[in-house]
Amino acid sequence: MLFNSYSFIFIFLPTSLIIFTALRNHKNTNISIFWLVLASLFFYCWWKPVYLPILLFSIGFNYIAGYQLSRNKSDVFLKKCQLAGSIAINLLLLGYFKYLNFFFATINNLVGTDIQFQAIALPLAISFFTFQQIAYLVDSYRGKTQEYNFLQYCLFVSYFPQLIAGPIVHHDDVIPQFSHEKSIKIRNEDIAIGLTIFSIGLFKKVVFADTAATFANPIFESALSGGQVDLLQSWLGALAYTLQLYFDFSGYSDMAIGAARLFGIHLPLNFNSPYKSISITDFWRRWHITLSQFLRDYLYIPLGGNRKSEIRRYINLILTMLLGGLWHGAGWTFVLWGGLHGAYLVVHRLWEKTIPPISSWWYQISAQLLTFLAVVVSWVLFRSTDLASASVVLQGMVGVNGIHTTPSIHSIAWFSALLAIVFFAPNSQELIPSVCSTFKDMPTILHNDTQYWQWRPNTYWAIFVATILVVAVAFISKENEFIYFQF
């Protein structure tokens, strides 16, 4: 079930909220939590019920494993073995469903064999709920978890607003909210803020992202079919996908936070105007924030982080980004995309060590433009189905195929408007400061409550939200999946 579907907007979400509201005043808060777990599992089953046992097994296994790790206070060796074994089982499950096809296809291509294998469908959200629970296991090993009850843990993993594509929530950020009586109850402010940010996210997805896709898809499909794309076509396709992905993921993040807020649950910030970044390091502090923090805390730092030599630091950066790329998808395009970002980070680190800080306005603008162009180029690998089609687009971007087309006035106007929104418009958390996360390690969003355009619970904002919601619903002509659903 998609957030941008009639069934979710008009049936599932209001029904879940109405029943939750009816249960919220019960003395036992576990009743309302139990309902949210049931609703979340139904939401997951809507896609393909056959994969529900995988999610349930993952929840049950990791809860027991985490409980055992937190209880073991003395036998260090046994505790390490328990952690290694638990993580291995999670990775084997993820590897079987997500990477087995990729492994056999790579062997066939490299060795020239013809190993026959049956294509395995990827269970929805397996990457997200696997990483989320690996973090829980590691924290249990470190003694950083409390003895949560099983119902709270189930909701921590399966809560439908964040189940499919994040944010990758930390147990310490959300589970205490489930057990706190005030947090689990609905307030008028939560309803107003939740509807506002959900509507903004829906508008971004169906109006901005899906429209940008109509420019990007034909060009990448042409490259995949063996056609040549010229200089303007390739840059148009790359820029269109850059904007599509931006508004698609930004829209999803808003809708996830908004839907969760309707139930009184606060999810962490996951997207913070990444194309305004002035460096690639800044970009990864703003793009998929919770994934970046997971890679930092549970991969980069355990590898040694920046505690070793400078060369070791560069190796750790590249390894982390290579694995981050592979997490996104089982394909060499994702591996190279991650490696390219690893190289970007190394180059930025070398620049910082060589060039003293420059604070002039022209340097800031130049740095922002260079970072944006580097990200645009990397998205070609991210979007392309295979290396051959990625090569076609990249060759077109450097002029190998010449210039044969002229962009239309319509496309120029549309792209100019979207770029203006990306670079100059306030983002969702700046519009609605109370959405800003107060969770640990989350970026601080500076805002001025006196700005006239910031959200307030008044008639003007009610009219604005109702308008964009009606327009967005009218644009739902086809239920297009969010891009991050494939990961």
The set of catalytic residues is 328
Token representation of residue 316? 């750790």
Decide if 299 contacts 320 (C-beta within 8 A).
yes
Decide if 276 contacts 297 (C-beta within 8 A).
no
Token representation of residue 446? 């500076």
Residue written as token pair 């996210």: 201
Q: Write out the E strands in 152-204.
A: none
Residue written as token pair 């940008």: 212
DSSP-assigned letter for residue 478:
S
Token representation of residue 180? 């706190």
Amino acid type, 169: V
* d(C-alpha 30, C-alpha 138), whole Å: 26
* d(C-alpha 284, C-alpha 346), whole Å: 13
Tell me, rounded to whole angstroms, the distance of Cα 211 from its chain centroid.
Answer: 20
What is the 3 state secondary structure string of 37-67?
HHHHHHHHHCCCHHHHHHHHHHHHHHHHHHH
Nearest residue to 266 via CA among 189, 153, 165: 189
Tell me, rounded to whole angstroms, the distance of Cα 347 from its chain centroid.
Answer: 25
Amino acid type, 27: K
Decide if 133 contacts 58 (C-beta within 8 A).
yes
Q: How far is CA 486 from CA 105, 126, 128, 164, 250, in A?
A: 19, 10, 11, 9, 16
Q: What angle do CA 115, 119, 124 make, to 5 degrees?
A: 145
